[in-house]
Chain A
Amino acid sequence: MTTNRLLPEGFENLEPFVGYWVRDTNNERWKQRSLASMEDIRSFYDAMLARAEDAITHLDKFPLDQMPEDAERLFKLLLAIAHAAMAVEIHGQPRARNAKLRNDLNVTQGPWPFGGVRNGGDHQKTIGNKEVG
């Protein structure tokens, strides 16, 4: 089942957010949100929140790591709302108080799937993950 649509049918209204918010890893989603303006975070948050339950219902039809491309995009978009929530629901600003985004702080391995895996760039290996590899 392949399709050229960006998102599954019925989720067209979220397509304007795909370019910025659909990212492959936890770390990238976190950084995108940290760099965004509060206004942009808010508009993504409002639009995605309104469709979050629908998205979960749609995505539940597929195995977590084997979704058609359009569904996978929707999944990543859904995951980004967790980050938007940090800004909207917790901080009331794009980042933690008194904090700037920094390159020396990273989620080097996020939860499976679409969490991202640590690569050879950092030699301080800790616990390996058999599943992601």
Chain B
Amino acid sequence: MNDMTIGAGIEEAGAKESFTLAAGLSTEPVPVDSYISPDFFELERKRVFGRAWLFVGRVDQLPEENSYFVKEIDICKASVLVTRNEAGKVQAFHNVCSHRGNLVVNDDCGTKKRFRCEYHNWTYQNDGALIGVPDQKNFFNLDKKKCGLTPIATGVWEGWIFVNMQREPEISLEEFLGPYGKAYAGVPFGEDHETLVIEARFNANWKLIMDAFAESYHVPAIHPGTLAPGFANPVHNKYARPLSGNTFGLHAAWSAYGNPEYAPPPDSEVERIACKIDTGGLLGSDVNDEVLRLRAHPAINPTKESCWSADVTSIFPNFNIDYSTGGYWTHEFWPLSRDATHWILTIRIPKASSVRHRLQLEHYAARWAEIVLEDVTNCERIQKGLESGAKDVMILQDGEFMIRHMQETLRKWVNAETVADAMK
């Protein structure tokens, strides 16, 4: 393997421009109050989650006419019903009955054209219209037209469904996604993928786990066995430095190095058996058509390094889409309270095609579960450390530029009276 193919120069200071400076970010220490302050959390609830566009699901979850699913957004105290009607329109509603406020749909997902509230049997169509009221005559001038389900502003970008909890959003989804939406438009997603989901609830601020995916600096230390061998290289990239880093308005992305010399160690016999087919990146598949199409997109691996393994892209405030050689994965980082988080990691991978392939997927899933465990336990330790009040600031290096960008963006949204101010 010659140096040209393995990202020559990433180890040399100054060989690449600073991501932090290029993004116009400060280089000063960053206050840590946003992880521990109850007042800050209340402002996040109102001014960030109450005004930003939030990811709720992918169109695949509405595979046919009259499909629906329910998404609980605890931070907004909202139960959100997302439907697709016969015309294909995707629309979210508050899952709340107009009669006396009961939740209307109590299962997670399915196919239904009509929803009946179980309290007094008021019935709604999947476009929100109220179509049935038992003993209607006993009401006083009931205008059914005014009593539909309350719609929530809904937008779909590249198959990802977003909602905005403001009654009248101050900003459109398109404006909100801004340059990110343009840069990542048309990235090909694999077909016929299946879904692997790992979920964790733990006692730490939601941004701590988000931060853990904003940088690879921690990989050699926290993930020595699970990730480091594939994402660092003792000679060429000892500290797992990113290959590139960019900001896109509110959003940001970095490219992860993948060790091109990685092979299962000689005594990792199960890994050898499982990876006999489809070898390649530690978490990935080999260079198949799907990967080639992905790599051809200008936004993916923007510096076009051959030692690229994944792009981590972060959509403000709490959603990551990560494109990798082995499919793609998403993260939802949902705050439950100031110091409790629900993290949903959804991984889309090719469906098992043989017994050996299925074993490989189990190995992949098992490795991910270990990584998640390593990160979750680590986040709880950070929360403890920060709660002590020992430190007022954190000190970030260049590879951690995305944490800095998030902190600056968040602070703007928290401090701004209007979204227009926050966007300045």
Instruction: Categorize the interface residue count of chain A.
Output: 35 or more
Asked whether, in the complex, the Cβ of B374 is within 8 Å of the Cβ of A86, the reply is no
The reply to whether B344 and A124 contact each other, CB–CB distance below 8 Å, is yes
Across-interface contacts of B369 in A (CB, < 8 A): 30, 105, 107
Contact between B70 and A123, CB atoms less than 8 A apart: yes
Q: How far is the CA of A129 from the CA of B194 in the complex (A)?
A: 6
Is residue B195 within 8 Å, beta carbon to beta carbon, of the partner chain?
A: yes
Q: Which residues of A contact B356 (CB under 8 A)?
A: 56
Q: Given the known A-B contacts A56-B355, A79-B362, A110-B196, are A90 and B370 also in contact in the complex, defined by CB atoms under 8 Å?
A: yes
Q: How far is the CA of A128 from the CA of B224 in the complex (A)?
A: 33
Which of the residues B195, B201, B224, B268 comes within 8 Å of A129, measured between beta carbons?
Answer: B195
Q: Which of A29, A56, A82, A108 contacts B198 (CB 8 A)?
A: A108
Kindly count the residue-residue contacts between A and B in the assembled complex, taking CB atoms under 8 Å apart: 187
Given contacts A96-B226, A105-B376, A111-B365, contact A126 B271 (CB under 8 A): no
Q: Given A60-B354, A83-B366, A105-B372, A127 and B225 touching (CB < 8 A)? A: no
* Interface positions of B from 190 to 214, Cβ below 8 Å from A: 194-202
A33 → chain B closest CB, angstroms: 8
Q: Which residue of B lies closest to A31 (CB)?
A: B369
Binds B, one of A4-12, A13-21, A114-122: A114-122
- B421 at interface by CB-CB < 8 Å: no
**Other contacts beyond A86-B366, A107-B369: 16, CB < 8 A:** A26-B365, A53-B273, A82-B274, A85-B274, A86-B367, A89-B265, A89-B271, A90-B268, A95-B373, A96-B226, A108-B198, A111-B362, A124-B71, A126-B195, A127-B57, A127-B348
The answer to whether B373 and A127 have CB atoms under 8 Å apart is no
Q: Are A127 and B270 in contact (CB under 8 A)?
A: no
A105 to B202, CA, bound (A): 8
Knowing A108-B199, A111-B352, A118-B197, the reply to whether A90 touches B58 (Cβ < 8 A) is: no
User: Does A98 interact with chain B (Cβ within 8 Å)?
Assistant: yes
Q: State in angstroms the CA–CA spacing of A56 and B344 once bound together.
A: 32
Minimal beta-carbon separation of A115 from chain B (angstroms):
7
- Taking the closest CB of chain A, its distance from the CB of B168, in whole angstroms, is 27
Closest to A50 in B: B269
The smallest C-beta distance from B19 to any residue of chain A, in angstroms, reads: 29
* A residues lining the B interface (CB < 8 Å): 26, 29-30, 45, 49, 52-53, 55-56, 59-60, 64, 75, 78-79, 81-86, 88-91, 95-100, 102, 104-113, 115, 118, 120, 122-132
Tell me, yes or no, whether B61 is within 8 Å of chain A by CB: yes
Please indicate the chain A residues that have their CB under 8 angstroms from the CB of B37 in the complex.
Answer: none
The answer to whether B363 touches A111, judged by C-beta atoms less than 8 angstroms apart, is no
Given A30-B366, A79-B359, A82-B366, answer yes or no on A89-B267 (Cβ-Cβ < 8 Å): yes
Please tell me if the beta carbons of B61 and A124 are within 8 angstroms of each other in the complex. Answer: no
Nearest chain A CB to B278 CB, angstrom units: 13
Write out the residue numbers on chain A whose beta carbons fall within 8 Å of the beta carbon of B194.
111-112, 129, 131-132
Q: Given the known A-B contacts A85-B366, A113-B358, A118-B197, are A99 and B346 also in contact in the complex, defined by CB atoms under 8 Å?
A: no
User: B296-340 interface mask toward A, CB cutoff 8 Å, 1 = contact, 0 = none?
Assistant: 000000000000000000000000000000000010101000000
| A127: chain B residues within 8 A (beta carbon) | 57-58, 60-61, 195, 197, 346, 348
Q: Report yes or no: A85 in contact with B200, Cβ–Cβ below 8 A.
A: no
- The residue among A59, A100, A129 with the most chain B CB atoms within 10 A of its own CB is A129
Of all chain A residues, the one with the shortest Cβ separation from B367 is A86
Bound Cα distance from A56 to B63, whole angstroms: 34
Cα separation A125 to B109 with both chains bound (whole Å): 8
Residue of B nearest to A61 (CB): B355
Contact status of A78 and B370, CB under 8 A, knowing A125-B69, A126-B197: no
Question: Which residues of B25-43 have CB atoms within 8 Å of chain A's CB atoms?
Answer: none
B107 neighbours in A (Cβ, 8 Å): 120
Are B108 and A64 closer than 8 Å at their CB atoms?
Answer: no
* Residues of B close to A75: CB separation below 8 A: 355, 358
Q: How far is the CB of A75 from chain B (nearest CB, A)?
A: 7
- Are A107 and B365 in contact, CB atoms less than 8 angstroms apart? yes
B313–chain A nearest beta-carbon distance, Å: 17
Alpha-carbon distance between A126 and B273 when the two chains are bound, in angstroms: 32
Q: Check if B197 sits within 8 Å of A111, measured CB to CB.
A: no
Return A112 CB to nearest CB of chain B, in Å. Answer: 6
Whether A78 lies near B355 (C-beta < 8 A) is: yes
Measured CA separation A85–B344 after assembly (Å)? 25
Q: A126 to B57, Cβ gap below 8 A?
A: yes
Most-contacted residue by chain B among A79, A88, A113 (CB, 10 A): A79
A32–B237 Cα distance when bound, in Å, is 36
The 5 residue pairs across chains A and B that have the minimum distance between CB atoms: A85-B270, A90-B225, A111-B361, A82-B363, A109-B197
